Amino acid sequence: MEKRARGRPKKEVDPASALKCIYCGIEKTADTSEKSMKNDFYQSRSKLHFGYDKFIPICKSCLDTLYKEYLKKYTQEIEESENKTTLEEYYIEKKAVKRLCMLNDIYYSDSLFEAALKHSSNNTMFSSYMKVANLSQYQKKTYENTLKEEQEALDAEHENVILYDDAKNFKKITKKTIKFFGEGLKEESDYEFLQEQYDDWVARHECKTKAQEEVFKQICFTQLELLKAIRAKQDTKDLTATFQKLLETAKLQPKQNHSDTMSDTQTFGTLIDKWENTRPIPEIDEELKDVDNIGVYLDVFFKGHLAKMMGMKNGLSRLYDKYMKKYTVTKPEYEEDDDSEALFDAIFGNPSNIEID
């Protein structure tokens, strides 16, 4: 039984339809094998190239030449620009690679360019990019996917950002900001002011609860009204009073902060005296008292023993001696000779009872 070949069968190309580069017009393939074609041409996923055996009809060397030409073109445009803007070489390379991908219907993404940049060698940046773009996860993608992804990113950005022109300067306001401070403000710049002030307040002071968040929000609104009143040369007495009350509510008045600062600079003993006078420690509960005499053990075996070791004579060392006396064995002492002789006789017997031959 004839064995079936594994994998995809080898493709043979008609010699009469051998690939030629449409840029230089030279036939790059020396034989008719598909492997040889891959050495000279990049494979394509575009429907535009199905009639060219699914290869990009421009050879690899010509694509590198085009890449270098675009690099030169973009660099020259920057040098001749009236703005004299210096553009990094990195950005020029990215622009040239993206332009070639667009012309040849090749999938492009910034993440692929970054990956190719890390693995670039002596070859051009475009050839390094194509090595990454030919990975299996990108084989079904073309430049149409690039346009779709860019549009989706743009739609997502516009969904959360509102652009407006303030003295010909475009600024961004997120819908989150409008939702947080509420709709209906006359000028878009008011939202920007409120957001900047709120971010500054919460960055410098604690804001963990809903109540604190609302107080900071009201402070920002009052600041905005104060600013507008000052610009219009109106009376700000009531607004200033409101602002001071809000600061007092948030405990952010200068005198309150000064009191906290003074507490930080006081010594520990001064703070203890202050706390004892203002908030003294209450009497201990009965169930929390020293029912096991653990305090006595600490005084005797730790403090008293330490005093004894250091040769200090105080109440703790005397307490230690008194407590240890009942556990101490003293050696008996005999002062008179009779007592010593009686002890000797008791141990060794009376010498008068010993017979000597």
**Quick one: which of 111, 154, 116 has its CA closest to 132?**
116
Name residues of the chain where pLDDT drops below 70: 1-18, 28-37, 81-90, 120-122, 156-172, 255-266, 278-281, 285-292, 332-357
Distance CA 160, CA 215 (A): 26
Q: Length of the chain in residues, anyone?
A: 357
Copy the structure tokens of residue 186: 């006359």
Whole-prediction pTM? 0.43
By the 10 Å C-beta count (0-12 exposed, 13-18 middle, 19+ buried), 208 is classed as: exposed
Copy the structure tokens of residue 249: 């509510």
Q: Amino acid identity of 257?
A: N
Question: What integer pLDDT is reported at residue 168 of this predicted model?
Answer: 47
Question: What integer pLDDT is reported at residue 242 of this predicted model?
Answer: 92
**Quick one: which of 77, 46, 59, 30 has its CA closest to 126?**
59
Measured CA distances, 225 to 194, 197, 219, 238 (Å): 11, 13, 10, 11
Measured CA distances, 16 to 24, 274, 306, 344 (Å): 19, 102, 106, 135
Question: What integer pLDDT is reported at residue 83 of this predicted model?
Answer: 57
